Amino acid sequence: MDEINRNTDIEEEEISNDIPSSSVGQSAEDYSADNIQVLEGLEAVRKRPGMYIGTTSERGLHHLVYEIVDNAIDEALAGFCDHIEVEILEGDIIRVSDNGRGIPVGIQPQTGKPAVEVVYTVLHAGGKFGGGGYKVSGGLHGVGASVVNALSEWLRVEVRDGKEHYMMEFKRGNVTRPLTVLGATDRRGTTVTFKPDPIMFDTTVFNYETLEIRLREQAFLNAGLRITLTDSRPGMEQTSVMHYEGGIRSFVEHLNRNKTAIIDEPIYMSGSRAGSVAEVAMQYTDGYNEQIISFANNINTPEGGMHETGFKTALTRVLNDYGKRFNLLKGEEKLSGEDTREGLCAVISVKLEDPQFEGQTKTKLGNSEIRVLVDSLLGEKLEQFLEENPTVAKTIIEKCISANRAREAARKARDLTRRKSALEGMRLPGKLVDCNERDASLTEIFIVEGDSAGGSAKDGRDPKYQAILPLWGKMLNVEKARLDRVYGNDKLTPVILALGCGIGDECDVSALRYGKVIIMADADVDGSHIRTLLLTFFFRFMRPLIDNGNIYIAQPPLYKITHGKKYRYAYDDAERDQILSEIYAASPNARPDIGRNKGLGEMNPVELWETTMDPAVRVLKKVRLEDATRADEIFTILMGEKVEPRREFIEKNAKYVVNLDV
């Protein structure tokens, strides 16, 4: 979640219209060749880093590591590397080593410079453009190494080619030490050490767990490859060795480790055609949520693409055909795509010579030929598997039929809700206190825990653009519920009606009635539970709202510090201590009163407005999805049926809990 600055309620963004300052005030007729700027070398990367790594937040920082690791993995894909080491060093420094062939150090003909220098200083330079260096590769198509160099305060690259040990150094993309021979060696490989430039990033502190999740993913995708992650920072020392001979089959087992599988082992299928390779591993659980993770050349494609389309099409077709052929589906009964994917966990991995990604950061695969490959592969191999394993086939079809009937029940519940709303002459819940503004982009709704807090929020709000929806009673844990139960739940129906954008497959962000959906709950255990239940609901049934950045969490202050006739609010212990130190510095004999805010209902309307609802001073946290796979795992652990994973999670993370009120 992103914390929003207290003086503004939107994320700060760099805003530029790309017009040089000297041109301000010029007329259209003054526009000439002088207005055209040419950025030399890697200047473009430092000028617009978001174009190359997506963001300069913590996510963009870790993307630098992924780019260097991806280059090493390309060596593994080519069959020349079987061990990659990643180390976090003191001072926000990263070192990545592999035992591949080593980046070429000979003179590159077009530039007259050593090839390694070209790779790290020239955009779109590398061995991935049909020159025979790599048949299959990920990375940013020759951009990755140079982008990392451009965004680093300094970078050092060492190459061992089995004869000589070379080194070259850079500062913010510029050569500071030409290619130098350090001595003889019989080893091969590349080592890249770099320090991200604090000028370019919001933070330069690396998160071990974030790197571990991504690197483990890569180890699963490359069966047999060993990846070692080490944290050498003082007081944070730890090491993880990731090595999976089972490949994506092991990946699916890992993803399902906190769930209950209904078939013993993942179903695995693979095949190739015209230089492209496709692998699929899949396993059904007794849950209701689907989890499909896809990759192209080891690059995660969170928005899917043609490989996912081919998978879904074939899965629906094969299961319907099998169900009809063996009389498991009766009469006109037919499974929808959603029915066939309920409770399914699947990993799709394709490797192809010329991947066509949509967007610089590769979130969707566009190659139409890969759809045909995955469709035909899955169609043939899955049909064969089902015929050879009739017991497993029956279990899967029965799961899908159950999903189909529940979906029909959900449709009836949805239609009943709509008819009831129409008969009552309204579509909005009775407890909703709506705002006056009709432009959704200007409005916000506070989902408030309890009637007393709802009353304070109602009286303290700005009625022009702020709406209030009080909730009461125990809310449904949707992690353990299908769509039909969600529609029938009297605690969630008001939320669905108030937001107006539908749920599940019908969720449409464009129909959302409010630009900001703000969860406002107490800063105690019960409030945390309410927040978690609502976040589970939004993640499972209104995911587009999270993806679109519409969900926020309000942060009420933890303390009210009164000194004389003045008072100030503190939102955490650190701010409380800072305020107290300022008071004591001004008056050594001061005796400030420190009040602990237990609940929103204890605040009067004025207090609630000036601390939690006023855009000029409030603190909001924007709910942002960094890693869908990790989010799915956390919701499964915290809200799922299994107790043991939840206990282990609590024991592991209890030390990080602060400000706990029981």
For residue 299, the model assigns a pLDDT of: 86
Which one-letter amino acid corresponds to residue 244? Y
For residue 341, the model assigns a pLDDT of: 96
Selecting among 58, 75, 449, 633, the annotated active-site residue is 449
% of residues, the chain, pLDDT over 90: 56
pLDDT tens per residue across span 150-201: 999 999 999 999 999 999 999 999 999 999 999 999 999 999 999 999 999 9
Asked if residue 95 lies in contact with residue 233, where contact means CB atoms within 8 angstroms, the answer is no
- On the question of a common fold for 50-243 and 426-556+621-656, the answer reads no
pLDDT, mean over the chain? 85
For residue 23, the model assigns a pLDDT of: 38
Confidence of residue 412 (pLDDT cuts 50, 70, 90): confident
∠ CA 235-239-245, nearest 5°, is 165
Bridge-based pairing of strands 466-471 and 444-449 is: parallel
Asked if residue 467 lies in contact with residue 446, where contact means CB atoms within 8 angstroms, the answer is yes
Strand partners, 96: 86, 192
Q: Is 98 a catalytic residue?
A: no
Selecting among 434, 526, 582, 610, the annotated active-site residue is 526
* pLDDT over threshold 70, residue 431: yes
Selecting among 169, 524, 572, 626, the annotated active-site residue is 524
Strand partners, 469: 447
Q: Is 526 a catalytic residue?
A: yes
pLDDT tens per residue across span 377-393: 889 999 999 999 999 99
Nearest C-alpha neighbor of 6 from the set 593, 572, 631, 577: 572
For residue 420, the model assigns a pLDDT of: 59
What are the CB-based long-range contacts (under 8 Å, 24+) for 89-94? Answer: 89/193, 89/232, 89/233, 90/232, 90/233, 90/234, 91/195, 92/195, 92/196, 92/198, 92/204, 92/205, 92/206, 93/193, 93/194, 93/195, 94/64, 94/65, 94/68, 94/193, 94/194, 94/195, 94/196, 94/206
What is the pTM for the complete model shown? 0.77
Average pLDDT over residues 552-580: 90
pLDDT tens per residue across span 310-367: 999 999 999 999 999 999 998 889 999 999 999 999 999 999 888 888 765 567 898 8
For residue 61, the model assigns a pLDDT of: 95
Q: Where are the domains of the chain?
A: 50-243, 248-407, 426-556+621-656
Confidence of residue 544 (pLDDT cuts 50, 70, 90): very high
Selecting among 522, 607, 632, 633, the annotated active-site residue is 522
Nearest C-alpha neighbor of 92 from the set 231, 190, 238, 191: 231
CA 325 – CA 319 distance, rounded (Å): 10
Among the listed ranges 19-33, 445-459, 488-502, 567-581, which one has the minimum average pLDDT value?
A: 19-33
- Please tell me the CATH code under which domain 248-407 is placed: 3.30.230.10
For residue 184, the model assigns a pLDDT of: 96
Class of domain 426-556+621-656: alpha beta
Architecture category of domain 50-243 in CATH = 2-Layer Sandwich (3.30)
pLDDT tens per residue across span 22-43: 333 444 445 444 444 444 568 8
CA 545 – CA 509 distance, rounded (Å): 6
pLDDT tens per residue across span 83-103: 999 999 999 999 999 999 999
Asked if residue 509 lies in contact with residue 501, where contact means CB atoms within 8 angstroms, the answer is yes
Q: Is 522 a catalytic residue?
A: yes
What does the DSSP 8-state code read for residue 333? -
% of residues, the chain, pLDDT over 70: 87
